């Protein structure tokens, strides 16, 4: 007898009159909004314009949904094209079945189109949106809970998920909630990318590559726990091999990119106002530090200019080239205190054409 478990909803659909409200779709939509919101904040901090992330997401999200569905249908074709199955079900995306590998691949194509139209480098956009994608996955995985899918081996742990449906080969019981494990792992990956991006100033797609590598690491062991039907190669599920291959490619990209293009992009969006975000602040700060003092160059130049502009009493000369007498200090103050105006100087007269000055 189980002492505790995570109950599954009796139905993944709520009806608002004739309109069906599907939990799986809600999780996907909420995840997209979170990804765009966080991506927008990070993009502005890098010096981009507000709203650019959402504009490019208009291209990336539809491509990603199509790519995710295609990957699922191709790798699990027996669910739709084998004997007794209806191929029309391949279009019923609300019933679950999105492959993250296809979603990222085709979503990147959509993002590339959107970035190209705005003259934006795709790697910079990918770095900004990477943690948001991880959080979107964390939220989207709860759609599998609504559909009672993506669970692992049977267990009596207190956090086991209860499966009550017996359709599509399911057997009622309590199982490892692999959807929950992946959701928590994705939250950890998002936090890792945000921390590493701040700590190491990642750029040129390396923050996105770190997200990919981190996700693949968790997906490998989570996939190994699943018991749903899947193709196997050399004893491992197909998604295990995919995760391993993509992990190696992501790590290789990080290493090669760091050697070829270290640092971060100076400009992420052409035409963005100067001074927008933290990237502009970093540029100002870099130019203001000299000899360990903030604003050394600017201050030193200003001081030098002021000194040049002020006459030197010791070297002041009159028109003949002879040293002139410095004006007595306090003359103006005395005139102001007495209330009498300072006598005006008479025009200079030239006696011998040598230009000697004379005051009346």
Which one, of 86, 186, 96, 190, lies nearest residue 143 by Cα?
A: 96
Please tell me the distance from the alpha carbon of residue 136 to that of residue 140, in angstroms, as a whole number. 6
C-alpha distances in angstroms, 55 versus 14, 126, 207, 267?
A: 31, 14, 21, 19
Give 76-106 as a 3 state SS string: CCHHHHCCCCCHHHHHCHHHCCCCHHHHHHH
Which one, of 177, 188, 226, 233, lies nearest residue 210 by Cα?
A: 188
β partners of residue 151 = none
Please tell me the distance from the alpha carbon of residue 213 to that of residue 346, in angstroms, as a whole number. 84
Tell me the CB-side half-sphere exposure of residue 81, using CA atoms within 13 A.
Answer: 6
Please tell me the distance from the alpha carbon of residue 246 to that of residue 233, in angstroms, as a whole number. 16
The torsion of the CA quartet 273, 274, 275, 279, rounded to 10 degrees, works out to: 100
Contact 254, 33 (CB under 8 A): no
- For residue 218, the Cα-to-chain-centroid distance in whole angstroms is 21
Burial 98-123 (b: 16+ CB within 10 A, else e): bbbbbbbbbbbbbbbebbeeeebbbb
46 annotated ligand-binding residue? no
Which one, of 177, 172, 170, lies nearest residue 153 by Cα?
A: 177
Please tell me the distance from the alpha carbon of residue 195 to that of residue 176, in angstroms, as a whole number. 30
Residue stretches of the annotated binding site: 141
């Amino acid at each position: 007898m189980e002492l505790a478990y995570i109950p599954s909803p009796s139905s993944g659909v709520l009806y608002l009159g004739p309109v069906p409200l599907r939990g799986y779709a809600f999780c996907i939509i909420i995840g997209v909004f979170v990804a765009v919101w966080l991506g927008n904040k990070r993009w502005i901090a890098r010096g981009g314009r507000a709203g650019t992330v959402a504009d490019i997401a208009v291209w990336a999200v539809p491509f990603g949904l199509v790519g995710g569905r295609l990957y699922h249908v191709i790798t699990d074709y027996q669910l739709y094209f084998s004997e007794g199955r209806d191929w029309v079900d391949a279009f019923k995306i609300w019933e679950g079945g999105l492959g993250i590998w296809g979603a990222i691949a085709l979503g990147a194509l959509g993002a590339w189109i959107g970035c190209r139209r705005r003259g934006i480098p795709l790697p910079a956009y990918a770095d900004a949106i990477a943690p948001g994608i991880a959080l979107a996955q964390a939220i989207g995985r709860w759609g599998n809970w609504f559909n009672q899918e993506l669970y692992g081996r049977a267990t009596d742990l207190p956090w086991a998920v209860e499966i009550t449906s017996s359709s599509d080969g399911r057997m009622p019981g309590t199982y490892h909630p692999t959807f929950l494990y992946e959701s928590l792992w994705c939250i950890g990956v998002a936090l890792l990318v945000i921390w590493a991006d701040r700590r190491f100033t990642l750029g040129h797609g390396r923050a996105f590559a770190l997200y990919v590598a981190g996700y693949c690491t968790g997906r490998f062991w989570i996939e190994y726990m699943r018991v749903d039907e899947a193709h196997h190669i050399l004893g491992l599920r197909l998604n295990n091999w995919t995760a391993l291959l993509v992990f190696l490619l992501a790590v290789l990209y990080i290493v090669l990119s760091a050697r070829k293009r270290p640092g971060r992009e100076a400009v992420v969006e052409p035409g963005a106002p100067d001074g927008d975000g933290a990237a502009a602040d970093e540029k100002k700060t870099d130019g203001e530090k000299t000899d360990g003092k903030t604003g050394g160059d600017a201050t030193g130049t200003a001081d030098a200019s002021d000194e040049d502009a002020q006459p030197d009493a010791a070297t002041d000369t009159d028109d003949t080239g002879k040293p002139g007498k410095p004006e007595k200090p306090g003359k103006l103050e005395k005139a102001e205190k007495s209330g009498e105006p300072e006598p005006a100087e008479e025009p200079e007269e030239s006696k011998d054409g040598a230009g000697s000055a004379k005051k009346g």
